[in-house]
Structure 1
Amino acid sequence: MRRNARRMRRYGVQPVAMIDDLEFAPLVIAGIARLVWRYRSELAPLIVAASVLLNGVILRRWFPEWWSTVLISAIGMAAALVVWGRWANLPRPIERGYAAFTTAFVGTWLTLATYIGPFTPPLPAVLGITSLVLAVPWWAHRRRRARVRVERTLAAWPDIAQAVGLAGSRIQSAMVDLWGYRFRLGLGVGQTVEDAVNAVPRLESALGTTRGGVRVLPVASKKANRADVRVIETDPHADAIVWPGPSITSITQPAKLGLFEDGAPVRVPLLRRHGLFAGMSGAGKSGGVNVLLGDLTACQDVILWAVDLKRGMELLPWMSCIDRLATTPQEAEALLADAVVILDGRADDLTRRGERVWEPSPDRPALIIVIDEYAELASEAPRAITYADSIARRGRAPAVNLIAATQRPSKDAMGKSAVRSQMDVRLCFRVREPRDGDLVLGQGMVKAGWHPHKLDAPGKFLISSPEHDIPRRARTYLLDDEGVRATAERHAEHRPPLDEVSAQALLRAAEMPVMPPQPTVQPSPRHARDSAAREAEETLTATLRQAPSDGVSIGDLIRATGMRRTWVYQRLQELGRVRQVEQVARGRWRALPEVHDL
């Protein structure tokens, strides 16, 4: 009995009084099964070899005619592992090769066992020796050993959860990758993802990771009682990622700006969207803008304009691909004013065509305006901010969009306009303080787990857009000065010309007299106006009186008066406030019937 008790303690079974030898055998089996389960990863090659032998016996006994099917299936599976093995968590070629060779060997052995018998010499010896040879890479593989270590760490999760303040949570699944491991966490009753985010420092201590090595993210299904926890043991973004070349040939395709920590590409649709690149000096904004320009210059349905008030220091290398570059406040103001003219011209064209959006093509390209250091524009060219605000609010449908880069997009830096609120694609590089993260990404984002102040290398960023609502860290590609020069030279000869609609709008605007802004007051004959303005007002009045029942278009009023679109709109708004004119349809106006003297 004493000897039996010692045996039971050795196998983790508590001794029980009055146990005889007949009851001891099941306890020994249970202890062996527990050891096999605990060391199942180490014993996997031997278990697989025994399984192959058993399958060979079954195939030979009951399905001997299946030998050709087994061979074809093995060849197909081996080829699939070579081609698509990365989707089966085999990212490295040597791993895919090992898996394919093992599959091919097992298939070949089973084919011979089915055809001539599993115990026909030398098949048993070949199976035993080859299994041991193939077991050596398995036993030595880093990820297998890491998986065992992770499983044993997570086996203690109930104690860890109690220590970090997540009592009642449980591990639902776990996976080891090249850079660490991740697991799905089922939260306890009443716990939220925000609770798990707040517990990150305690999780780092309990799991024994480095500071900043734990990420807690909401799950893709957006279930409130689930969270994805990722433990980074080897930073996948420790080194810069070389730009592989343009990823798109049309603005209708999503641009690839970098890679997430799991190796997935950061793809962002930019058509009819405004973008904001923000972060402190040296965080990698300029590098991100260069990567974006590398993709946009490869598109033959995009016209690029740019504003760089550093006298062109940042964007001048792209000059051969940029149709227009402003390097002074006066040039910036003129450029944005012309962009508004193009916007209005395209809007009129869409109205005439009965269309709602401008579809980019080489003949009708989108217009994207890149503004580097937007804060300089707000301080040195305040009038330009008015034009930028108009583009931000009205530019989506006519495909006239802004990409702004700035260090800190405060209200002062953005010119107290609505530009920032219209930016629905935001790349936030490292910021100095947590509150700056809320300033870039939106109020409350830092509390929700977006921590751009913890980014620790140039080029690392968080992206917020309609497609990216989870705080996943990413890093932009590295496109150095030599790469910028070579890319610009290669793409320069394929740049599209400005479309006819936009060119005609600019031509008409250049021929119109430039009027000083009029005060927004009710019209009165006592106001002093010069002869040109008075004549234009009289023409406007006559045209509105003669308008048919469906009104006259803005374009016709512009041509009749010879004034700019902004002047015409301002006068129509003044007259509408005193109930002298009315808007009968989108872009069409007429004088009220009862009014005889405007």
Structure 2
Amino acid sequence: MRRYGVEPMALITEDLEFAPLVIASLARAVWRYRSELAPLTIAASLLLDGMILRRWFPEWWPSVITATIGMAGAVAICGRWVNLPRPIERSYAAVTTAFAGTWLTLATYCGPFTAPLPAVLGIGTLVLAVPWWAHRRRRARVRVERTLAAWPDIAQAVGLAGSRVQSAIVDLWGYRFRLGLGLGQTVEDALSAVPRLESALGTTRGGVRVQPVGSKKANRADVRVIETDPHADAITWPGPSITSITQPAKLGLFEDGTPVRVPLLRRHGLFAGMSGAGKSGGVNVLLGDLTACQDVILWAIDLKRGMELQPWASCIDRLATTPQEAEALLADAVVILDGRADDLTRRGERVWEPSPDRPALIIVIDEYAELASEAPRAIAYADSIARRGRAPAVNLIAATQRPSKDAMGKSAVRSQMDVRLCFRVREPRDGDLILGQGMVKSGWHPHKLDAPGKFLISSPEHDIPRRARTYLLDDDGVQATAERHAEHRPSLDAVSIAALDAATTAERHIDAPSEEGRTIGPGARHARPNARVSALWAALRDAPEDGTTVEELKAATGMSRPTIYRHLAQLETDARVCQVSRGRWRARPDAA
């Protein structure tokens, strides 16, 4: 038979040549739409498995139903470990597993074509397929897979020819993929290609993050595409994350939702960034955690007359608001440092282990640049603490806008800050100033942070540039937290008190009055110490039932706040005074 004047054998030969192309096209389409066809594929697999089990292993139906119960329960309980974070997703997976296992059990026992099993399989497949087809993460994963399937062309266009996508994961805010770099390419090459990657992948400006991998392999990079900013809104502070300084504090959340945890024991910290970038909010979150620790004494310096740190005053043992008070506070901290060092030497120990009886001492300094300009002599004390304070657990937390050499007093303080939180800066060079030379070139871009509270953290545990946002602790939260923790704050340890007392005694000896009634040396304010002590005891003895405040004792005696605290600590040890409430004292009724 001829068709259109063509020999039959020629038609058969032409059809045979065309068949492989049809099969290949069909196979590509099935592979491309494999996600959409997954419910039908599973249904066909169940039908085939039912036929096999019914034909050769019909007695296995009890094992099938037992395995079904175990797998459905495991998915419902442990599904979060296999990329099913939401309860509704785990429930859907468990129901699907239970349906498939139950149908297969009945097919093994009765036969897959026994009525109404075929109809049940068809209707159940369609019903359970609807959530699968509508699921946002599945559709996003399909879209990402199809985008990354074109990676060879994308890589050629952005200057990363030869690189390849090794794996990809879709999350709630976008997706990320591991990039195997081409021969001779480095992470810095991928960083320089970020603007071109944003264009090629069709993301928003600033929506692509590139960072080294955790294994530190030079020919790998992690690329993260942000489609929905997880930090678009402020994150409410959930409450204290630690009860001891030996635990890592939680300062905020990374973009993938993991907490920013950093150990603070025996470490100095720096909070830096331009005005309005969120430094004060970060310091408040840190103080919220530290005030919950019963093995930490807090001292603070706020040369803005206490505007920033005054709300925490009930939890802060000493708060300096003038340059003179700041200098005295840091001088006393050095005395404590030396006293603790001597105590460690006598004990044969190397480090001070914090406890409620022997707490660590952390000094929070707001706007450190003001300290350098208004109390330059205090910088020498801060430098000594920065260099020698780790082992005795006397540490600094400094906040400043731009930690230049002039702002930091040309001392070693900045170089000793091994925990650095960098909030938004105006210029890239300020990022290098805060985080360290060359960090901006390595992918640390604090000048691109676009909201208050967003920061980059550099510490021994965090050596990869990952954007984070600190929690929001508003004024009402600060007040409530301070009131809740004020009654449980520890007292200064005996070693530190003894060191301060010894220093005070030595200073009084130097400043003792001469025969002519004049004081010797610059410490004339310590003249007639016995009269001041007597005035202090009289004020405590005449105090009302609810006690008297330290400010009232200062007015009655002329003593400084630290001196009053030292005397109160000694009188309390001698059982002569009692603390009625936080910050209020009175003499015991039975004290002489």
Q: TM-score surpassing 0.5?
A: yes
Gap change, CA 1:503 and 1:132, over 3 Å in 2: same
SS in 2 for 1:476: strand
Choose 80-89 or 146-155, whichever is displaced more: 80-89
CA, structure 1 residues 358+138, in 2 after alignment: closer, same or farther (shift >3 Å)? Answer: same
Give CA-to-partner distance per residue, 1:219-259, whole Å, 9 cap, x none.
11111111111111111111111111111111111111111
Q: Pick closer, same or farther for the CA change 1:271–1:125 going to 2, 3 Å.
A: same
Measure how far apart 1:153 and its partner are.
Answer: 1.5
Query: SS of 2:168's equivalent?
Result: strand
394, 400, 405: which one aligns with 1:406? 400
1:99: how far off?
2.1
Matched, 1:51 2:45: yes
Tell me the amino acid that sits aligned with residue 387 of structure 1. Answer: Y
After superposition, the Cα gap between the structure-2 partners of 1:34 and 1:379, relative to the gap in structure 1 and judged at 3 Å, is same
**In the alignment, structure 1 residue 294 sits paired with structure 2 residue 288:** yes
Q: Which of the residues 333, 336, 342 maps onto 1:342?
A: 336
Instruction: Look up the equivalent residue of 1:232 and give its one-letter code.
Output: I
Which of 127, 132, 136 is 1:133 aligned to? Answer: 127
> Normalising by structure 1, what TM-score?
0.81
Shift of 1:81: 3.5
Greater shift, 107-116 or 324-333, is seen at: 107-116
Matches within 5 A, 1:106-505: 106-505=100-499
Change (3 A) 1:344 1:42: same
Match of residue 74 from structure 1:
68
3-state SS of the aligned residue for 2:315? Answer: coil
Q: Which amino acid aligns with 2:138?
A: R
Measured at CA, do residues 514 and 216 of structure 1 come closer, stay the same or move farther in structure 2, by a change above 3 Å? farther
The residue type equivalent to 1:379 in the other structure is: S
Name the structure 1 match of 2:563.
none
Contact 1:438 1:446 in 2 (8 A): yes
Question: Judging changes above 3 Å, is the alpha-carbon distance between structure 1 residues 127 and 279 closer, same or farther for their aligned structure 2 residues?
Answer: same
Supply the distance in 1 between the matched residues of 2:316 and 2:251 (Cα, whole angstroms): 20
Give the AA of the match of 1:452.
Answer: P
Equivalent AA in structure 1 for residue 255 of structure 2: E
Distance 1:69 1:507 in 2: 79
The 8 Å contact of residues 287 and 459 in structure 1, kept in 2 or not, is answered as yes
The aligned amino acid for 1:99 is A
1:475-529 per-position Cα deviation (integer Å, ceiling 9, x unaligned): 111111111111111112221111111111111111112699xxxxxxxxxxxxx
Q: What is the one-letter code of the residue matched to 1:410?
A: S
Task: Specify the code of the residue in structure 1 equivalent to 2:433.
Answer: L
Shift of 1:48: 1.6
Q: What is the rounded CA distance, in whole Å, between the counterparts of 1:301 and 1:334 in structure 2? A: 23
Question: How far apart, in 2, do the equivalents of 1:65 and 1:398 lie?
Answer: 72
Between the aligned partners of 2:231 and 2:78, the Cα distance in structure 1 is 24
Query: What CA RMSD, in Å, does the superposition of the two structures yield over aligned residues?
Result: 2.3
Distance 1:132 1:508, change over 3 A: same
1:369 deviates by 0.9
Q: Residues 89 and 177 of structure 1 are in contact (CA less than 8 Å); yes or no, is this contact kept in structure 2?
A: no
Question: Which residue pairs with 1:565 in the alignment?
Answer: none
Query: How far apart are 1:125 and its partner, in Å?
Result: 2.0
Structure 2 unaligned residues grouped into runs of 5+: 4-9, 511-519, 523-592
- Residue aligned with 1:86, SS: helix
With structure 2 as the length reference, what TM-score do the two structures score?
A: 0.82
Separation in structure 1 between the aligned mates of residue 300 and residue 11 of structure 2, nearest angstrom: 87
**SS of 1:121's equivalent?**
coil
Task: Mark the CA change 1:73 to 1:425 in structure 2 (over 3 Å): closer, same or farther.
Answer: farther
The size of the alignment, in residue pairs, is 507
| Aligned-residue offset at 1:61 | 4.1
What's 1:40 paired with?
Answer: 34
1:445: Cα distance to partner?
Answer: 0.2
Q: Secondary structure at the match of 1:403?
A: strand
CA distance in 2, matches of 1:435, 1:254: 30
Deviation of 1:37 (Å) = 0.3
Tell me how far 1:26 sits from its aligned partner.
4.1
What is the distance in 2 between the residues matched to 1:290 and 1:22?
A: 76
Contact 1:173–1:183 (8 Å) recurs in 2: yes
Cα pair distance change 1:451/1:31, threshold 3 Å: same
Per the alignment, residue 574 of structure 1 pairs with none
The residue type equivalent to 2:23 in the other structure is I
In 2, Cα distance between the equivalents of 1:407 and 1:211?
27
1:138·1:144 contact (CA, 8 Å) conserved in 2?
yes
Residue identity opposite 2:232 in structure 1: A
Alpha-carbon distance between aligned partners in 1 of 2:301 and 2:70, rounded to the nearest angstrom: 56
Q: Tell me the SS of whatever aligns to 1:456.
A: coil
Q: Shift in Å at residue 35 of structure 1? A: 1.0
The answer to which of 216-225 and 28-37 deviates more is: 28-37
Q: Secondary structure at the match of 2:314?
A: coil
User: How far 1:24 moved relative to its partner?
Assistant: 4.4
- Provide the residue aligned with 2:99 in structure 1: 105
2-side partners of 1:316 and 1:17: how far apart?
93
CA contact (8 A) 1:273 1:401 kept: yes
Larger CA deviation: 426-435 vs 290-299: 290-299
Query: Which range moves more in the overlay, 18-27 or 229-238?
Result: 18-27
Structure 1 residue 208, shift from structure 2 partner: 1.0
